[in-house]
Each structure stands twice: as C-alpha cells, then as structure tokens.
A and B are shown apart, each in its own frame.
Chain A
C-alpha cells in the first residue's frame, strides 16, 4: 500500500467501501509512514479552508419578461409612414377649407354692414363677427373634420388591421368641450344673477334714498312753515 498511495485519498476524504477502509486501517496500525502521510494530507485540507473568496454583488442582471408593445408599436414602419402622409394631407385640406370659409368673411368684415345679431337685424361695425356666424362656421368645420377623420380611420384600419379609434376620440373631445361650455354658461349665468341681484339692491337703495330725500325735503318745508308761522305770531 505504501507504493500505491492514491488508494489513501479515498480514506482521507472518508470515501470508499467498508472493506477498503478496514484494509487501510489494518495497514496504518503497522505503517508509521502512511499514518504520517494521512495526517499531513488532512492538515493540508484544513489549511485549504483558509482560502477566502471576496464578497461581491451579483453580476447578473435578471432576465425580464418581454413586454407586449402597444398595438401602434406593432404597426409596420411603412404603415405608420402612410398614416403620417394621410394626416399631412388632412392638415392641408383643413387649412384650405378654413381659408375658403373665412376668406369671403374677411372681405366682408372690412366694412360696416347690416347683419342679424342675436336674431335681430343690426348694424355691425367693421371687424365684428356675430355669435351666430361663429356657431355656423364652427359647425361646418367640425363636419369637415369628422369626414376627414372617418377617412383617416379607414386608412389606418386598412394598413394596420385595427380600428384607428380616431372618430371615438374626436367625439369624446367634443363631448368634453360641450361639457366645458355648459359649465362656462352656468358660471356666466351665476355671474349675471349676482350682477342682477346687486343691481336690484342698488336700485332699491337708490329708491330709499330718493324717498328719504323727498321726506327730508317735506320735513324741511314743514319745519320752515312752522318756524315762519311761529315767528309771525310772536
């Protein structure tokens, strides 16, 4: 066994079958050299425990699950480019329409004219646009925008296979706008009511002041009469 010391390695690591261990035990009882060899190897194993490894933070950046991109990120670049082109065309058309709608008005606004204002025929000064005109113009622009959006929506649907949803967004924006306008109207009405109430109060105070003034005058006249009458009697 002294000539085949590799057999001792299993013994040093407490590995190997029972028969092998018994054979080595018997050999060690009589072999000082092998006893010293095994003790030396065990001391070396003990020394190896001193070899530290530095602490370190994790170097691994954990894998993150793939994010599902929003539908519009899945639209191919060529489709996005086509949609952008359509939007540009819509912008041009909108500009041309606005110009056509407002161009004639601009000439008409340069001079004083007779126009219906709040349902009555009145002379309006140059540059003045009535509320009725604005409302009518707004309706026409909105109708044109709605037509254009419907067209863009169809194009987006063709290139992406999805509903663009632009008309719904437009309707929501209009609804929001209508709600905002209603709120403004309500506040304006509140303001007007407050102004009316204040005016009423002022008028009432003025009436009282006038009545007090009349009373004061009549009192003064009566007092003057008394004083002059009394003075004549004396």
Chain B
C-alpha cells in the first residue's frame, strides 16, 4: 500500500532512511522542474535539488505538519533558488530562441501524431515562454510556476509564500497579463515575418 507523505515523514523522523528515500523519489521530479524553471540552468537546478532534500532531511524535526510536506519542500526550494540568484547576482538564464538545433530535434520527444513542424513550433514556444517568464518579477513568476506547473491552490500558494490570498491572485493576474502581451507580440512578429518571407519568395 502506498504511504502518504505525512506517514513517510513520520517514519523518516523516527530514523527510517528508506522512507526519506521514497519521499525523494516521489518529489524529485517536481522539485527539479521548479528549480529549473526558476533558474533556467540544468546544472544549477540539480545542485538546488540536492541541497533542498538535504536541508529537508536536516530540518525534518522542524517540520510540524501544519503545512503539506510538498508546500514545505517548495518553500525550501524557492528560498534556495532566491539565494542562488542573489549570490550569483544574475537573472535567470534563458536561451534566446536562436533557431532550432537539429541535435535537439533528434533528442526531442515527438508527441503521438505530432509532425516535425509541430515539434519545432512547440520547442520555439517553449523557449519563448521561458524567455518571457524570466523577465517577470520574481514574485509573479513564482506564483505562476506554483499554480501552472505544480497545481497548488491559491491558499496553498499563499501559505507557501507567506502572503495574503488576494496578493496571490493579484500577482497571478498581473503576471499572466504581461506574459499574454509578450507572447501575443511575438506571435504577431512571427506572422509578419512569415508573410514577408512568403511574399518575397512568391
């Protein structure tokens, strides 16, 4: 029978290392995704994941269970990412959408029924989203990450970020609105470029 996070935490606190290993196996992927989308570098994200779980293990006794284990873990990860960015005095790195690398394409997972053109478009959109997200203020970016990619409720985000519910909604709305403008502008520019290319070749 699958044990809940809280049960695994209780066993880990009693010294059962395997229970903590199970928690890591369960949450490593989401924690990596959060770190990667916050920092934009695979290597940095890996370091943060390792440090986050080590901190979680060391701090298990301080986890009182008033929040979900995952929320607690997200908070540790976000704090680490913030320290990481401040320490390196840089903004999250995002690769500019500078064309498509054929090697990337070879490695890419093609969804069932997806053409190569669709795959190229999806990867370009992925880069565009990453670039637009990187330019958002940190608090808006974090709220969107937790809502869109981790499915937290408004209240869970408020608990994780230690801010009022209304603030969470404001950050989400403002962040989404900025993203919308940037992505729509990009799409308009691409459409214009395609039109110009088509007219130039016809």
Give chain A's interface residues, CB within 8 Å of chain B: 5-6, 8-10, 12-13, 15, 40-41, 43-45, 47-48, 50-54, 56, 58-60, 62-65
Contact = CB atoms under 8 A, between A and B. Distances in A.
Contact of A41 (B21, B130, B149, B177): B177
Given A15-B153, A60-B24, A50 B126 contact: yes
B91 interface: no
Contacts of A63: 17-18, 20-21, 57
Interface of B: 17-18, 20-21, 24-25, 28, 32-33, 36-37, 42, 46, 49-50, 53, 57, 122-123, 125-126, 128-130, 133, 144, 147-149, 153-154, 166, 169-170, 172-173, 176-177, 179-180, 183-184
A45 B129 contact: no
Contacts, number: 88
A60 to B, nearest CB: 5
Contact of B183 (A5, A47, A56, A62): A47
A10 B165 CA distance: 11
A54 B183 CA distance: 22
Contacts of B153: 15
**Most-contacted residue by chain B among A12, A41, A63, A65 (CB, 10 A):** A63
Nearest to A62: B21
Contacts of B148: 45, 48
A59 B49 contact: yes
User: Closest 8 interchain pairs by CB?
Assistant: A50-B125, A63-B17, A44-B180, A62-B21, A51-B129, A9-B173, A53-B33, A59-B46
